[in-house]
Structures are given as C-alpha cells and as structure tokens.
C-alpha cells in the first residue's frame, strides 16, 4: 500500500508541475464548452437581408416589419432595382434578398395568388436553407393573420420534445464532455506511460518490486480523478451558463461517466503499449482516436445522414454510445431500463480494451 | 547461503531465429565487481534483463541472490538494484522526492528513507540541494545520485547498464570510486560497459561476442591467455 501511495504521489507531482498538462486538463474543458456553446450554434440569428419592395404600400410595409421583428433577420438594405441584388450578394453584405412584386397588395383578396421571390446566398448551403425556411414560415403566418388564407386543410403543430427551444448547446455540452474525457483519459495516460519509456524510468519501475498491475493502476488513477473533475466542471458550466436540464438520475449519470472514463483509460494504456515516445502516443491518440470520435460519434454530424458504411463503422466508437446515454439521461430523464443496451455495449468495449491492454502490456515485458 | 550471488547455466534468449544470448554459463561471487564487456549489440543488455527478471529466458536456468530468475522473480526484485543506460531519475521531481519515491516503491519506511538520504547527501557532498529539481543538477552529479538511489534499499547486487557512457573521464573516475565503496559494503556489482579500459577496475571480466561469452577471468588471466597488452587487443582478437 505504501508503495502504491508513493507511486500515486509521484504521478500527481508530474501532473501539477507540467504547465502544458495543466493547461490541457483545466483550461481546455472550460474554453471548449464556452466556445462550442457560444460561438458554434446551429441556429441563425440576425440574417442580413435586403428587400426590393416594388409594391411600396401598407401591406408590404407590414409584411416587412413582421419579418424584421422576428429576430431572425436584419434589414440591411432597401434596394431600388433588380441589378442591385447581385451587387449586394457579391459584396457579401447580405445573405438573403426578398423581392415583393408590384402587384402585391392589389392581388390580395382576389383569387390570384401573389408571388414573392426569395434569393439566398447558397455558398453557405446550411445557412441558405435555414433562412429561406424561416422566411417562408413567417410569410405563412403573415398570410393567415391577415386573413389572406381562409383555411389551410392540414396544419402542422410541431412540438420540440426534450429541447423545446431547439438549443444546439444541449447537443454540444454532452459532445464536448465526451471529447474532453476521451482526450484526458486516453491521450494523457498514453503520453505519461510513453514518457517513462522515453526517459528510461520505465525499465527501473519494471525491475523494481512494483507489479505491472500496480504500475497501470497508478498511472490511471490520477487521470480518473481528474477526468471526473472535468466532467463536473463541464456539467456545471452547462447548467449555470447554458441552462442544461438534468432530468434523470444523477447517480446513473455518474456511473455511466465512470464507465466511459474507464473505457477511455484502458484505450490509453493500449495505445501506450504500442507507442515508444510521447510524440507517437500523441499522434495515435489524436489521429486514431480524437478524429474518428469527433467525426463519427454523432457529435457534430448526424449519424443518420452518413453513408451506410460509415454508419456501420460508427458502432465501434464508444463515444457514440456514451453521447446517446448522457443525452437520454440529461434531456429525457430516462433510467437504465431504456439505455441498458448502450450501457452493455460500453461495458463490453471496456472489458475488451482492458483485456487487450493487459495482454499487450505483459507481452511487451517478455 | 552460498558464496555465489549469480549462478547462470546455459542461459539462452532467442528473438525468432536470432539468438541474442546464446548458451552462456558463468557465476559471480559475493562482493565482486564483475565486468560484463562486449561491443554494442553483443547481447549484454538482453542478458542483464534476464538476470533482473524482466525478460523470460528461452532456455537455461539462473539464480540471482539465491532466487530463481524464472520462478521467483518477485522475491528476487527486492534483492537487486538497477541503473539503466538512460538516465533514471525524474527531472521534474526534487532530489528528495526522487529518493522518497524509489525508497517508497521498495517498501522502505519513512524513517529509513530519511536516515539513508542524510547519509547519502553527506557521502556525495551534495550540501543543500535536497530540494532542487533534478533538471537543475549537473549531469556528473546526477549520475552519482542515480547510482546511490539504485543502492538505497541495500540490495545484494546492483546491475549497472553502461553507467558511464557519455560521461567525462573525471566523472567516470569518481563514479568508479562509488562502485568501490559499494563493493566494500558487500554489494556485488554487475556492470556492463563497452569501454575496454574500464576492465581494469573490475575484479573479474567476461567478454561477450555475438551472444556468447568468449572469455572470462581476471584482467591478468585474460591478457596472458590471449597474449595481449590491453583489453582492446583481447577484444579485437576475440571479435575477429
């Protein structure tokens, strides 16, 4: 036990004396959450718009003010003729243009329908899609409010379940937490083991009475503690700054986080058995772990819209299952009876990695 | 306990077809300074790894400090010290912390560690650098400290893997003084080196060439037997 304590003490000293490690451990989670939370949102506000109002009457004015008061659009320019539209797009001052035809008000109330034209800058296809979507929504409700449409045979009343305001931050907090836990657990442990090999102290440890199991646990335990600290920081930020809900059981969430950390730590040990230097360990972790995790976990790109082969591939990414689990617990408030399948998969992968890494760690010695 | 600290018989380690250590047999007496000489890649490090219990022999048998190197590795490890070719202290820990750590993993009590640290600081004339980070201590000192740390738990035998490579002649000489001191205290020293002139510091020498022990004995014995004026010549004759 004293040997173990001596080892743990030493590991913590390594961590707290290295500025780079500290920065990754404590700076990055906060920066990432804030960055993803504030800067990268999928909802668009204040889309810059130009209007070419050829009708110039009260109804068209009402229509325009309805659009600008929605919060989604800012009226950047009032245009005089068609030629100016393209000019403004080229200058990049606007993202979308609206053309109200000369007959706009006159045609209202008759059987003839009015056509307004919307032109969007599709060099950013996502934004173009969303802005035209918003605009047609506003146009419809304007038409209904003014009695222009008597009755629409079918209306859709949509309700955004579990995330009523459709906030993208609810997606990013679990995602960032997953990435950070993966990074801290897998990358940092693989680097610290590789570091001992690089400076030659690993040999000394192996010759010493320390058992390989103790060396592994001693390496892993400090990062387990720190990963928990990180998870806590990220969740707290999520609650306080972004108003993340916490519907489900905290204990279940805690256990699932523990499970994911263990699976990442064992992955880190597995990497360290293959890497002789810190650089290799870092490269393997970043390219082999981080990239697939970010791309295939469903964190940023929805898995449903991936090609089939990538969808199948995404199943081997533990992060995918973990993201499903935390979202289910935090947003939907479900219990283990719903997410047991994902949990079993995580347990399975953890066991697989642990067995593999112990096996490889031993064979390296022989 | 027998007078022999290391007894090795027909020890072999193969990596695939290649035999890094090929059927070596030798023994080392208690308190002896045993020089394990050979060119780079002759199999010295592989042999040493088997003796310290971190590498399993392909065939043959061996006992170190009375324990079998195949079956009693865990007990064996308390009885040996080891200093690797690479530098073996943690740069980001202070001298004191390094000593505490190595003392700790060998199961020494805090009191013992404090006592031995004091003795060591006194012997090496380290003065008040106990709380200095190893990174800030000059290389020559570090080497000596590493040796003292390797013998902190008073092992029966200490294995030194090329301890003097890349060290200036004066520090090398001082380092050998430390080795003599340890030998006087009854610690057997097993040292590998590829500096042939260091052979004269050893009580007995073995010369390894391509995995085999080609010659063994005291310096004088080897010189007479091979009709040479120094170890360089012996080595060249054997390696041919």
d(CA A120, CA A131): 8
**Average of pLDDT values for A327-344?**
91
Count the Cβ atoms, other than its own, within 10 Å of residue B19. Answer: 17
Grouping H, G, I as helix, E, B as strand and the rest as coil, residue B122 is: helix
Query: Nearest-CA neighbor of A337 among A249, A277, A270?
Result: A249
pLDDT tens-place string over residues B31-86: 999 999 888 888 888 999 899 988 889 999 999 999 999 888 888 999 999 998 77
Interface ipTM = 0.87
Q: Which residue has the tokens 């990180």?
A: A230
d(CA A277, CA A161): 48
pLDDT tens-place string over residues A28-64: 888 888 887 777 666 677 889 999 998 888 888 888 9
Q: How confident is the model at residue A362 (pLDDT cuts 50, 70, 90)?
A: low
The pLDDT score that the predictor gives to residue A299 is 81
Query: Nearest-CA neighbor of A113 among A154, A149, A63?
Result: A149
The answer to whether A107 faces chain B, any CB pair under 8 Å, is no
* Greater model confidence, A104 or A351: A351
Q: How confident is the model at residue B231 (pLDDT cuts 50, 70, 90)?
A: confident
Q: How confident is the model at residue A111 (pLDDT cuts 50, 70, 90)?
A: low
Query: Nearest-CA neighbor of A234 among A326, A363, A343?
Result: A326
Q: Which of A3, A13, A200 sits opposite B97 (nearest CB)?
A: A13
Cα angle B192, B193, B197 (rounded to 5 degrees) comes to 135
Judged against a pLDDT cut of 60, whether residue B98 lies above it is answered with yes
- B103 chain-A contacts, CB cut-off 8 A: 6
Cβ-Cβ contacts under 8 Å for B123 (sequence gap 6 or more): B148, B181
Please state the CATH superfamily assignment of the domain spanning residues B30-50+80-239 in this structure: P-loop containing nucleotide triphosphate hydrolases (3.40.50.300)
- Our CA dihedral for A165, A168, A171, A174, rounded to 10 degrees, sits at -100
Q: How many helices (H) and strands (E) does chain A have?
A: 17, 4
Please list the residue range(s) of chain A that carry CATH number 3.40.1710.10: 47-145
The pLDDT score that the predictor gives to residue A210 is 87
- B131 chain-A contacts, CB cut-off 8 A: none
When the candidates are 2.60.40.10, 3.40.250.10, 3.40.50.2030, 3.40.1710.10, the CATH number that belongs to A47-145 is 3.40.1710.10
Q: How confident is the model at residue A13 (pLDDT cuts 50, 70, 90)?
A: very high
Using beta carbons and an 8 Å cutoff, which residues of B are at the interface with A? 52-56, 74, 77-78, 80, 82-93, 97, 100-107, 150, 159
Residue A346 burial by Cβ neighbours in a 10 Å radius (0-12, 13-18, 19+): buried
- Residues of chain A above pLDDT 90, percent: 26
The pLDDT score that the predictor gives to residue A366 is 46
Q: How confident is the model at residue A364 (pLDDT cuts 50, 70, 90)?
A: low
The answer to whether A14 faces chain B, any CB pair under 8 Å, is yes
Judged against a pLDDT cut of 60, whether residue B146 lies above it is answered with yes
Contact call for residues B101 and A9 (beta carbons, < 8 A): yes
Q: What is the DSSP letter of B71?
A: T
Whether residue B84 and residue A200 make contact (CB cut-off 8 A), yes or no, is yes
Grouping H, G, I as helix, E, B as strand and the rest as coil, residue B155 is: coil
The model's pTM is: 0.79
pLDDT tens-place string over residues A228-257: 999 999 999 888 988 888 888 999 999 999
Whether residue B106 and residue A3 make contact (CB cut-off 8 A), yes or no, is yes
d(CA A335, CA A329): 7
Cα distances (angstroms) measured from residue B135 to each of B88, B101, B132: 12, 16, 8
Per-domain residue ranges of chain B = 30-50+80-239
Whether residue B84 and residue A7 make contact (CB cut-off 8 A), yes or no, is no
């Amino acid at each position: 036990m004293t040997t173990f304590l001596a080892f743990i003490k030493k590991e913590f000293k390594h961590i707290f004396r290295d500025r780079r490690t500290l920065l990754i451990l404590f700076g990055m989670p906060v920066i990432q959450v804030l960055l993803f939370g504030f800067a990268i949102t999928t909802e668009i506000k204040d889309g810059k718009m130009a209007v070419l109002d050829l009708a110039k009457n009260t109804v068209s004015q009402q229509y325009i003010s309805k659009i600008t008061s929605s919060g989604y659009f800012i009226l950047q320019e009032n245009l005089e003729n068609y030629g100016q539209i393209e000019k403004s797009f080229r200058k990049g001052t606007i993202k979308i243009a609206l053309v109200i035809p000369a007959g706009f008000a006159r045609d209202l109330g008759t059987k003839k329908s009015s056509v307004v034209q919307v032109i969007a800058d599709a060099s950013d296809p996502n934004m173009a899609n969303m802005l035209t979507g918003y605009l047609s929504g506003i146009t419809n409700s304007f038409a209904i409010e003014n009695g222009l449409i008597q009755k629409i045979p079918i209306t859709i009343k949509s309700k955004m379940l579990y995330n009523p305001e459709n906030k993208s931050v609810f997606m990013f907090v679990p995602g960032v937490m997953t990435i950070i836990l993966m990074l801290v657990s897998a990358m940092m442990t693989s680097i610290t083991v590789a570091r001992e090999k690089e400076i030659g102290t690993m040999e000394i440890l192996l010759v010493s009475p320390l058992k390989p199991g103790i060396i592994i646990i001693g390496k892993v335990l400090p990062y387990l503690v720190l990963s928990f600290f990180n998870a806590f920081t990220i969740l707290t930020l999520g609650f306080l700054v972004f108003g993340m809900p916490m519907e489900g059981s905290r204990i279940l969430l805690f256990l699932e986080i523990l499970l994911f950390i263990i699976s990442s730590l064992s992955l880190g040990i597995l990497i360290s058995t293959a890497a002789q230097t810190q650089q290799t360990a870092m490269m393997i972790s970043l390219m082999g772990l981080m990239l697939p995790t970010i791309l295939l976990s469903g964190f940023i790109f929805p898995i449903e819209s991936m090609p089939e082969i990538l969808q199948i591939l995404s199943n081997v990414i533990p992060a995918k299952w973990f993201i499903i689990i935390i979202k289910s617990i935090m947003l939907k408030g479900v219990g283990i009876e719903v997410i047991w399948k994902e949990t079993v998969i995580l347990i399975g992968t953890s066991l697989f990695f642990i067995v593999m890494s112990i096996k490889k760690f031993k064979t390296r010695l022989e | 306990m027998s007078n022999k600290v290391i007894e090795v018989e027909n020890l072999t380690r193969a990596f695939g077809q290649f035999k890094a250590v090929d059927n070596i047999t030798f023994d080392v007496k208690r308190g002896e300074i045993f020089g394990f000489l050979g060119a780079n890649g002759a199999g010295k490090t592989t042999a040493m790894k088997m003796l310290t219990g971190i590498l399993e022999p392909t065939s043959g048998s061996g006992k170190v400090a009375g324990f079998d190197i195949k079956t009693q590795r865990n007990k064996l490890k308390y009885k040996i010290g080891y200093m690797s070719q690479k530098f073996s202290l943690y740069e980001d820990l202070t001298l004191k912390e390094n000593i505490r750590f190595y003392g700790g993993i060998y199961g020494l009590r805090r009191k013992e560690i404090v006592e031995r640290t004091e003795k060591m600081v006194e012997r090496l004339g380290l003065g008040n650098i106990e709380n200095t980070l190893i990174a800030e201590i000059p290389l020559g000192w570090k080497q000596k400290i590493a040796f003292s740390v390797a013998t902190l738990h008073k092992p029966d035998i200490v294995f030194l893997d090329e301890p003097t490579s890349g060290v200036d002649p004066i520090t090398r000489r001082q380092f050998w003084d430390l080795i003599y001191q340890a030998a006087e205290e009854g610690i057997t020293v097993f040292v590998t080196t590829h500096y042939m002139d260091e052979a004269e510091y050893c009580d007995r020498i073995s010369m390894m060439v391509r995995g085999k022990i080609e010659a063994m004995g005291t310096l004088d014995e080897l010189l007479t037997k091979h009709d040479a004026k120094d170890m360089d010549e012996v080595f060249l004759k054997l390696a041919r």
